[in-house]
Chain A
Amino acid sequence: MYIGLDVGGTYTDAVLLEKGQVRAWAKVPTRQDLLTSLLEAFDKIMAGAHADLIERVVLSTTVITNLIAEKKYDPVGLILIPGPGLDHSHYRYDTETCILGGAIDYRGREIVPLDSGEIDGALARMTSLNYKKVAVVGKFSSRNNKHEQEVFKRIRQSGLDWQVELGHRVAGQLNFPRRVMSTLLTCATREKYQFFADSVLAALDKRGIRCPVYILKADGGTMPLHKSLDSPVETIFSGPAASILGVQALIPPGETAVVVDIGGTTSDLALILSGQPLLSSKGANIDGKMTHVRALAVKSVPVGGDSVVEQVGKEIILLSERMGPPYCMGGPMPTPTDALKVLGLTRLGDLGRAKEAMRMLGRPLGMQTWEVAARIMLLVTGAITSEINKMFMSWEQEPAYRVWEVLQKRKDRPNTVVGVGGAASGFLTQIAATLNCYPVIPPYARVANAVGAAVARPTLQVSLRADTEQGTYSIQEEGFQGPIEDRPFNEEKALELARYWLGKRAEKYGLKDDLGEVEVIRKEVFNMVRDWVTRGKLIDVAVQTRRGILHYIGSGVERDEK
């Protein structure tokens, strides 16, 4: 049996899955004392089930997202080695930032060495400002990490016991500013994250659950909880990822669908294209800055059931803020939920108060209560459907760098709109009608996120880049770089080597048995020609374990997704 657990800001949801069926589910408030909430949720779903029968537990959480949003973390100092390129005034962060000279180029060649005096100066400055956490990031450090290593060595030689994060270990992809943000956030959240992980482990221990524990990542894959301590930022946005996977598990395979999660103040939108959730082409945007965190594409619209509705002049407008519960539930201002109540689309609240809310808005305009309600309905569904259309358009507008990619650009339109979250049911029919789709509210929609966590499967990826002219290769995800030993080296050997590293990584993560089929997601070979002679090859390959989910719920049989 599998347990799926979603620790949100307001509620903690849990489900117990047995052979692709939901056996029990629970929704309890998230309290200050995390342990108590977790225990309460466990006890509800475990009634009558023995702890020994649990094969695995998967968590998803918004704890890290909230930490970052509320800026509840210790200050992190930045030591950057940007070299030539953008003017250094672009690298301004609201924390102490020391910039060192020194440069590495796109092929990992050292252009300008570091100056040891400058390093010492930066360390002295951080010390004097009392920084205990420091992120060190260099441009092209994923092509050659020499400079980051040198600074790290110097920190330790100077006897400083700071928590240090190096850019190449956090993010191996190209894009220096995103690497800086990812490294900074990793450094900032590690300690708090440890506390969260410890609480979870303690709760499981108290109930005698001793199976492997995983956590969901923003890209919809899982990793073992203890391993996630290396890269806590990977788990931000695992909340939205969980509901998307949940929907994927709750609708028929291969469907193209829009997932609409309407909450109190925001609505999260996501796309499932031919059965696969869409990954964001850029890394996750955290706190207004781009990062390297691979994430499912989620669009947040500031509209929800509790959004304030106002009458201004001859218009009724929807504001993005919340001023309390809906009027029909004792709140101060009219909201979309009041409109739903008047239209008979929700069971919540008091009809009299809901009508009163509509009258307040309608009186100056000479509109009937039902007219006002219908207008609000249109405003909400309009805001949401226009964002959905924009999402499809921007997906079609993704850049392409190869002839075949341009030629096979697809146009895909959804046939289903799936609603999850509190206020979804009331608006769904209207949204679906506008998009010419079928509205679907799957069973267990209220705990779709916990279901998503339960069915998520481990994903591991390895990207290998080899430069045969220089005789070196690197593994992006491991921050590894070393010499090519098996020469002459070619594409096949590169793939073999990447698979080997994937196996090694799987072992490290305790996933050896779950590895399954390995997919090649990128394979690029460039001949390096100088003076009409081929001097070497640049080989860039990436392999990953297959994406997907473990079960489709309700199909009754355990099976892998095709």
Chain B
Amino acid sequence: MRSKPTGVIFFPAFDWAISPTHPEREERLLYTRDQIFEEGLLDLPEIEEYPPKLATIHDIARVHFCVPRVQSQVTEAHMIAAGAALSLGDSIIKGEIKNGFAMVRPPGHHAMRVVHGNRGFCNINNEAVLVEYLRRRYGIKRVAIVDSDVHHGDGTQEIFYHDPNVLFISFHQDGRTIYPGSGFTHELGGPGAYARTLNIPLPPGMTDRTFHYVVDNLVLPVIRDFQPDFIINSAGQDNHYTDPLGSMRFTAHGYAEFTRKLNPHMAVLEGGYAIETALPYVNMSILMALAGINFSNVREADLDTAGFRESDDRFAQVQKMVEELLAIWERRDRVDIEKIFGTGKFYQRKKFIYYDTDYIEEEQFEKVRVCGSCPGYLVIESRANRGFGEPARVLAISIPIDACQNCQTEAYACYEQGMVDRKQYNFIMLQDKSTDTCLSCDREKKQEWKSEGPKPGV
């Protein structure tokens, strides 16, 4: 029997841009289209093209607390990009395709759980929407997300920080030298999900050698250990040596080889703004690698790796980091969690989030219930300063899909309390993933909305 094809949804959104000269504009996937069409890749039996479809408001609400509402944060383009990932997910689970590539824009990996606006070109986290959809709809348990964008996938990390069933690994250019300024080795996940978040910040200028050292010695062994049911690659392409925003020196061939080794169920396009010199080649070779097509003849027009010399010191630095992280991973279930995170009913932290695209400053106070029988519910108090008018104050409560009865009851009580609290939140929101119910309340308008996902079997 012939093996199943690779599914691809190509959605270049030729009629959508953040602004006319913004990197995230209509032209971004134009040359990729030219390259893939001219190669005739979509005519090959190994590849099956699917049309995009729209994600629903509820698919978004299951992941994000959009302020004030989902409709005010997303455009149709976002619904289509997220919908593309869901649609490919459906086809993979149904067994029509062996894997998929959502070659879509706009991207999503900087979008966090609470969304006040656009940050890092992202509003909606396409991967997170996919993960929650797969878990809810198909009962998928364990998911691994590997982020290969040059920028730290801080949105994805934040959403799954306390989730022991989602392994998040990101390698990226060192946050001290590039947006968003996070993604250091000490960011390892919350008390209930320790070491389920791993970050490998790379010194600028590193090449495919370092890329594959990290993949072979850390990413692949950890994933083998974790035994995920579903692997997602946040396929940012800005580690490429020609990228105008990043300073790394990876090649299209390096990306393809990585895709072949990781063998993800799905790749979702993230960043990558060398729209002429990198994207046509990287996108094409990722697609070929997924489909099991020989990619050795794909070559950038100006490729000359002879000039790519890495500093040996920096490489040694990366080697040491990989060893340390691997050690942390191996000890993950034996460490004294209370020693690291302290004791008490809640683990809490304060966060400051900057929305570079929309110039919004957000302050967050996040509490997670430390619970012996489930990952615990999450309470977020968020206050966003838009530089005009009153800051928006939000109380957001999230109940995990495998929540215990006790956490669920406490979380709903917390929602009720928010309605009458002296703190005067403008919006109070709750997402109950265990019953797939989302509640949202606008206190000034005295209005409450409720949405529920489709009943199982529908």
Contacts and interface: CB of A to CB of B under 8 A. Distances in A.
B38 to A, nearest CB: 4
Given A86-B297, A111-B301, A399 B38 contact: no
B410 interface: no
B332 interface: no
Interface stretch (B7-15, B172-180, B362-370): B7-15
Given A176-B38, A403-B77, A526 B301 contact: no
Please tell me the size bucket of the interface on A: 35 or more
Interface in B45-83: 49-54, 75-77, 80
B31 A403 contact: no
Given A398-B51, A400-B52, A531-B244, A107 B38 contact: no
A86 B280 CA distance: 13
Nearest to A112: B301
Contacts of B37: 174-175
Given A406-B52, A406-B76, A527 B21 contact: yes
Interface in B126-171: none
B40 A177 contact: yes
Given A84-B297, A403-B80, A175 B43 contact: yes
Nearest to B303: A84
Contacts of A533: 21
Contacts of B296: 87
A526 B26 contact: yes
A531 B21 CA distance: 9
Contacts of A176: 38-40
Q: Which of B39, B75, B77 counts the most A-chain CB atoms under 10 A from its CB?
A: B39
A336 B288 CA distance: 46
B19 to A, nearest CB: 10
A85 B295 CA distance: 7
Interface string B1-24: 000000001111111100011000
Contacts of B43: 175, 177-178, 282, 290
Interface string A388-406: 0000000011111111101
Interface string A83-124: 011111100000000000001011101010000000000000
B31 A527 contact: no
A107 B277 CA distance: 11
Contacts of A407: 76
B14 A402 contact: yes
Counting chain B CB atoms within 10 Å of each CB, the highest count among A85, A86, A524, A534 belongs to: A85
A300 to B, nearest CB: 19
B442 interface: no
Contacts of A85: 35, 39, 284, 297-298
A532 B53 CA distance: 32
A403 B294 CA distance: 33
Contacts of A174: 34, 37-38
Contacts of B35: 85, 106
B299 interface: yes
Given A175-B40, A401-B14, A529 B76 contact: no
A106 B15 contact: no
Nearest to B12: A401
Contacts of A86: 39-41, 288, 293-294, 297
Contact of A84 (B10, B26, B299): B299
A106 B21 contact: no
B25 interface: yes
B21 A526 contact: no
A78 to B, nearest CB: 15
A88 B295 CA distance: 11
A139 interface: yes
Contacts of B40: 86, 175-178, 290
B294 A87 contact: yes
Contacts of A175: 37-38, 40, 43
A427 interface: no
Contact of A403 (B16, B25, B27, B51): B16
Residue of B9, B15, B53 most packed against chain A (CB within 10 A): B15
B33 interface: yes
A396 to B, nearest CB: 8
A105 B20 CA distance: 25
Contacts of B16: 403
A534 B21 contact: yes
Interface in A386-441: 396-404, 406-407, 409
B76 A403 contact: yes
A64 to B, nearest CB: 22
A290 B40 CA distance: 10
Enumerate the 3 nearest inter-chain pairs by beta-carbon distance, A residue then B residue, closest first. Answer: A106-B34, A177-B40, A174-B37
Given A176-B39, A526-B27, 14 more contacts: A84-B299, A109-B301, A139-B39, A174-B37, A174-B38, A175-B37, A396-B51, A399-B52, A401-B10, A402-B13, A403-B75, A403-B76, A406-B80, A529-B27
19 contacts: A86-B41, A86-B293, A106-B34, A111-B301, A174-B37, A176-B39, A178-B40, A399-B9, A399-B51, A402-B13, A403-B16, A403-B80, A406-B52, A406-B54, A524-B14, A526-B14, A529-B21, A529-B25, A531-B244
Interface of A: 84-89, 103, 105-107, 109, 111, 139-140, 174-178, 282, 290, 396-404, 406-407, 409, 524, 526-529, 531-534, 538
